[in-house]
Structure formats: structure tokens, C-alpha cells
């Protein structure tokens, strides 16, 4: 039974269609990430759920009740904005107390509740500070506490980690996840950062050009992308155009690289169909000589990018640029300009039809 239901949401600005028939159901307690490049419609969808934008068509339901006609202040939805939007004239605890104050909770009781919520987000003892006196991460926590203290029916997070540096961001990812689990609040998280989406979500919804490209669990999105866009947007990928030579024999053909065996595909395939083959760079092995039992291709190494623990090797195999992810220790066997062997297993080849 879905808790949040978006049905056929369309949003147009004049002739521009920002959202095109978006439908989605989210279960109670689920952590769903809207992922996509800027302008893909993810934020517009979030704003429609929050009530700040009106959909041109379609409905939003929460718990079986349509909220499409409600004003933002009637929706009981907690939102954490990109820049936190804390009230600069109020202290941290007053900020958190604000939504309770608006709901008529007495000052004594409300402030106590706000303090409790601040403790939950790890800010015990910081309540008397003004936002200006708090670090970015602490402001983020206050904003989170404020969005949760009134037990909202939904929690919306609009790129909340964008302004934080890398270490703090990872720390906050874990924190947000922990708090979300402990409260069991249904959460929509908007980001354009795929690693954030991967590490935090129960489910990822990939947006592109106002439409949902795919909605699935992170690992499904990664291993079984339904479109080339999803495959290219999430993680690194080798996308090889090919033609199905035998659907029964599970083989495809690329003019430059020859025949490919593949293990499976999510869609029914027919002989002669144009498809795209996905091989993730970390599923390719790099070696001096061909390895038996694997599909081997010769490649001339063009660039090696070292990351320390691993390295990205980019080279040309026939007409095709291939990317190979190798462990840092393995990269010493090869130099730029040299020829080597790359190989993979049929299980690592995924067929994308769109």
C-alpha cells in the first residue's frame, strides 16, 4: 500500500514542459532519492509535493488523502532547504520550536521538545546559539531538527548537503540516514550527486528531461539500468553500440570489437535489434596476455589516471574508447602508449534497449 502517491503529474511553463506525466508511489518509511542533472524536474517535483508549485495536471496523495488543493502551511510536510533557511533572528532552539509554536504548543513544552530534538540530531547544548554562530554542518542539523520536530507526514530534503565539504558530507549522509531510520519518517531526498544517492537510498528515482527514467533500488539502478542515460549518469560505464546477432544464443555484435556474449537482459530481444551494451569499468580485467575463459580484446593505453588505491585506465580498442578500473597495485604493469589485453565475463555484459 503506497503512502505517497504521485499520479500523472505534469507541469508546464508556457510552452516548456518541466514535468511530463510523472507517476510514483512511495511506501511508508521509505527513503527515496530523486536523482538527475539540474533541470531534469526533480526539484520541481519536490516543490509540487511541498505545495510551493502547482501541478498543471495530476494529483499528490499522502496516506490516501489528496493534498493537491492544500496550501503549503496545511500540508504538514517537513522541508530542509539547500541553504537550510534558518531564521537568523532566532536561536537554534527557537528555530526548532517555531513549527510547534505555529501549532499552538505552549512555550515551556515546545522548548523542551525542541531541546530533545536537538539532542537527537547531536546538538545538545547548542540551543542558545544563533545560526550565525553555528558551522554549516550544525546549521544543517538544526534545519533537520526543525523539519522533524512536528512529526511531519513527509520529510523533503532539497540538496541539503550541497554546501558542505566532502568529509562533513559523508558524515551527514550517515547521520541523516540514522535519524531517518530511528524516526521511520518517509523521506524524499533530492540530489544530483550519484554517490550520495547510492549510499543513502532505499530506492533511487532517476529524472531526465521532466520524466522518470527509472525507479529502482540502488544496486538495480547500477547493475540493470533501463536506459543508456541511467547507465551513463550513474557510475562509470563503457557503452558499446551493438546489434543482436542471435537472441537465442545471447550474442551481440559490434563492428569494431566483434562478437559479445551476454548473460541476460531485462527486455525481450530479437535478432537484428540495435542495442547498447554496458560493461562497468571495474568488471574489466587488464593483463599483458589474453586470459582463458574470458572475452579478450586488445587495447592501446592512452591515459592512466591514478587515484592511489585504484586507477582508471583509458584506451582504444578498435574504434571504441574503453575505460578500465584497476586496483592501484595492478597499474604498475602497464604504461601509457603500450598495448595490453582487456577481458570480461559474459555476466558483466548488460543489454540496454533504450
Partner 1 sequence: MGMSLSRLTEKTNIWPWLLLAPLGIYMLIFFVVPLADVAIMSFTEPRVSLANYERVLTGALYQRVFVNTFLTAAFVTLCCLAVGYPLAYLMAHSKPRTAMLILLLVTMSFWTSFLVRTYSWMVLLGNNGPLIAFLQMIGIDQPPQLLFTRFSSTLAMVHILAPYMIMNVYSVMKKIDPVLIRSAESLGARGWSLFRHVYLPLTAPGIANGSVLVFVICLGFYVTPVLLGSPREQMIAGLIGHQIDEFLAFGMGSAMAMVLLVVTLIILTIYHRRFGLDKLWG
Candidates 89, 248, 309, 337; binder of partner 1 (CB under 8 A) is 89
> Quick one: 74 or 302, whose CB is closer to partner 1?
74
98 binds partner 1 (CB under 8 A): yes
> Quick one: 15 or 132, whose CB is closer to partner 1?
132
Q: At what angle do helices 92-102 and 107-120 cross, to 10 degrees?
A: 120
Q: How many Å apart are CA 93 and CA 125, to the nearest integer?
A: 10
CB of 99 to partner 1, least distance (A): 4
> Quick one: 146 or 323, whose CB is closer to partner 1?
146
Candidates 28, 112, 129, 130; binder of partner 1 (CB under 8 A) is 130
Separation of first and last alpha carbons in the chain:
30
CB of 45 to partner 1, least distance (A): 16
Whether the CA torsion 245, 249, 252, 257 is positive or negative: it is negative
50 binds partner 1 (CB under 8 A): yes
DSSP 163: T
CB of 111 to partner 1, least distance (A): 15
101 binds partner 1 (CB under 8 A): yes
Q: How many Å apart are CA 150 and CA 186, to the nearest integer?
A: 14
Q: How many Å apart are CA 325 and CA 327, to the nearest integer?
A: 7
Contact 285, 342 (CB under 8 A): yes
160 binds partner 1 (CB under 8 A): no
189 binds partner 1 (CB under 8 A): no
Cα Rg of the chain, angstroms: 24
Residue 3, C-alpha cell as written in the block: 503512502
CB of 150 to partner 1, least distance (A): 7
Q: How many Å apart are CA 155 and CA 251, to the nearest integer?
A: 46
> Quick one: 132 or 166, whose CB is closer to partner 1?
132
Coil, helix or strand at residue 78: strand
The interface mask with partner 1, positions 58-87, x = CB under 8 A, is -------------xxx-xxxxx-xxx-x-x
Q: How many Å apart are CA 125 and CA 118, to the nearest integer?
A: 8
183 binds partner 1 (CB under 8 A): no
Q: Contacts with partner 1: how many residues (CB under 8 A)?
A: 29
User: Judging by DSSP bridges, how do beta strands 31-35 and 211-216 pair with one another?
Assistant: unpaired
126 binds partner 1 (CB under 8 A): no
Contact 301, 263 (CB under 8 A): no
Q: What's the angle, vertex CA 62, arms to CA 53 and CA 147, rounded to 5?
A: 70
Window 133-152: residues binding partner 1 (CB under 8 A): 146-147, 150
Nearest to 158, CA basis, from 38, 256, 265: 38
CB of 49 to partner 1, least distance (A): 11
CB of 201 to partner 1, least distance (A): 22
For 46-74, letters b (16+ CB in 10 Å) and e give bbbbbbebebeebebbbeeeebeeeeeee
The interface mask with partner 1, positions 7-46, x = CB under 8 A, is ----------------------------------------
166 binds partner 1 (CB under 8 A): no
CB of 102 to partner 1, least distance (A): 4
CB of 8 to partner 1, least distance (A): 24
> Quick one: 162 or 290, whose CB is closer to partner 1?
162
Q: Backbone phi, then psi, for 223, in 5-degree steps?
A: -90, -25
52 binds partner 1 (CB under 8 A): yes
> Quick one: 130 or 294, whose CB is closer to partner 1?
130
Contact 33, 157 (CB under 8 A): no
Interface with partner 1 (CB under 8 A):
50-52, 71-73, 75-79, 81-83, 85, 87-90, 98-99, 101-103, 130, 132, 146-147, 150
Amino acid at each position: 500500500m503506497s503512502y505517497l502517491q504521485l499520479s500523472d503529474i505534469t507541469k508546464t511553463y508556457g510552452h516548456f514542459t518541466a514535468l511530463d506525466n510523472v507517476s510514483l508511489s512511495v511506501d511508508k518509511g521509505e527513503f527515496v532519492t530523486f536523482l538527475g542533472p539540474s533541470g531534469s524536474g526533480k526539484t520541481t517535483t519536490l516543490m509540487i509535493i511541498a505545495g510551493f508549485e502547482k501541478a498543471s495536471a495530476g494529483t499528490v496523495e499522502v496516506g490516501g488523502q489528496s493534498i493537491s488543493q492544500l496550501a503549503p502551511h496545511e500540508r504538514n510536510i517537513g522541508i530542509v532547504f539547500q541553504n537550510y533557511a534558518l531564521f537568523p533572528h532566532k536561536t537554534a532552539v527557537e528555530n526548532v520550536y517555531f513549527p510547534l509554536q505555529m501549532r499552538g504548543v505552549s512555550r515551556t513544552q515546545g522548548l523542551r521538545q525542541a531541546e530533545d530534538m536537538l539532542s537527537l540530531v547531536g546538538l545538545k547544548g547548542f540551543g542558545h546559539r544563533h545560526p550565525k554562530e553555528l558551522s554549516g554542518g550544525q546549521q544543517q542539523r538544526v534545519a533537520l531538527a526543525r523539519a522533524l520536530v512536528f512529526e511531519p507526514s513527509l520529510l523533503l530534503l532539497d540538496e541539503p548537503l550541497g554546501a558542505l565539504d566532502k568529509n562533513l558530507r559523508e558524515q551527514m549522509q550517515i547521520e541523516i540516514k540514522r535519524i531517518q531510520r530511528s524516526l521511520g519518517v518517509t523521506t524524499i531526498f533530492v540530489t544530483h550527486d550519484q554517490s550520495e544517492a547510492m549510499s543513502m537510498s532505499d530506492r533511487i528515482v532517476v529524472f531526465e528531461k521532466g520524466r522518470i527514467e527509472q525507479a529502482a533500488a540502488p544496486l538495480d539502478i547500477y547493475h540493470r539500468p533501463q536506459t543508456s542515460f541511467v547507465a551513463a549518469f550513474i557510475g562509470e560505464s563503457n557503452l558499446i553500440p551493438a546489434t543482436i546477432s542471435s537472441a537465442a544464443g545471447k550474442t551481440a555484435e559490434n563492428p569494431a570489437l566483434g562478437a559479445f556474449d551476454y548473460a541476460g537482459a531485462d527486455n525481450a530481444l530479437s535478432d537484428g535489434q540495435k542495442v547498447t551494451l554496458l560493461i562497468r569499468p571495474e568488471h574489466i580485467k587488464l593483463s599483458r596476455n589474453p586470459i582463458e575463459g574470458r572475452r579478450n580484446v586488445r587495447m592501446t593505453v592512452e591515459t592512466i589516471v591514478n587515484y592511489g588505491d585504484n586507477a582508471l585506465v583509458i584506451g582504444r580498442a578498435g574504434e571504441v574508447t574503453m575505460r578500465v578500473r584497476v586496483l592501484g597495485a595492478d597499474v604498475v604493469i602497464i604504461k601509457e602508449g603500450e598495448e595490453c589485453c582487456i577481458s570480461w565475463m559474459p555476466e558483466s555484459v548488460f543489454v540496454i534497449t533504450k
